[in-house]
C-alpha cells in the first residue's frame, strides 16, 4: 500500500492522520521507543500545518513552539514551514506552522 502525501489529503484525512499519529506516538512512548515517538510527533505537526492558515502566521511576530518553552521569531514562510530564529540564538531554524502557538498577552493588560 502506497501512502498518500499529506499535501494531497483532504481536511478529514489530515485530521484522521493526526489522530493516527497521536495514537501511534502514545504506543511508542509506552514501549520506550523514543525515536519512533519523535517521527509520529513530527508527522502530526506536519499534518496540522496543512490545516493551519498561513495567513495567520506573520513575519516579525514572536510565537511559542508547541512541546517546548522556546520562543520563535518568524522571518518568512515557505509553504507550511516558518523560518526564523529561536529567541536567544543566532542560527536560522524552520518549524512547521502547525507547531507555532500565538502568544496571548491579553490577560496581562487587564491588570491595573
Same domain, 37 and 59: no
CATH number at residue 37: 1.10.287.880
Mean pLDDT of the chain: 93
86: CATH:
2.30.30.340
Cα-based torsion angle of the residue sequence 86, 45, 5, 16 in order, rounded to the nearest 10 degrees: -170
Q: Between 34-50 and 11-30, two packed helices, what is the crossing angle to 10 degrees?
A: 160
Do both 33 and 65 map to the same domain? no
Cell (9 digits) for 4: 498518500
Residues 28 and 59 placed together within one structural domain of the fold: no
Q: What is the per-residue pLDDT across 2-52, written as a single tens digit (0 to 9) for each?
A: 578 999 999 999 999 999 999 999 999 999 999 999 999 999 999 999 999
CB 65 within 8 A of CB 101: yes
DSSP class of 109? G
Same-domain pairing of 57 and 110 = yes
DSSP letter at 68?
S
pTM over 0.85: yes
Amino acid at each position: 500500500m502506497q501512502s498518500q502525501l499529506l499535501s494531497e489529503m483532504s481536511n478529514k484525512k489530515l485530521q484522521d492522520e493526526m489522530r493516527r499519529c497521536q495514537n501511534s506516538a502514545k504506543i511508542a512512548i509506552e514501549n520506550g521507543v523514543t525515536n519512533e515517538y519523535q517521527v509520529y510527533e513530527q508527522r502530526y505537526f506536519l499534518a496540522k500545518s496543512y490545516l493551519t492558515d498561513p495567513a495567520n502566521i506573520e513575519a516579525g511576530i514572536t510565537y511559542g513552539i508547541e512541546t517546548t518553552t522556546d520562543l520563535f521569531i518568524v522571518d518568512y514562510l515557505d509553504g507550511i514551514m516558518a523560518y526564523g530564529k529561536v529567541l536567544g540564538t543566532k542560527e536560522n531554524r524552520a518549524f512547521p506552522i502547525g507547531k507555532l502557538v500565538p502568544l496571548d498577552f491579553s490577560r496581562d493588560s487587564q491588570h491595573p
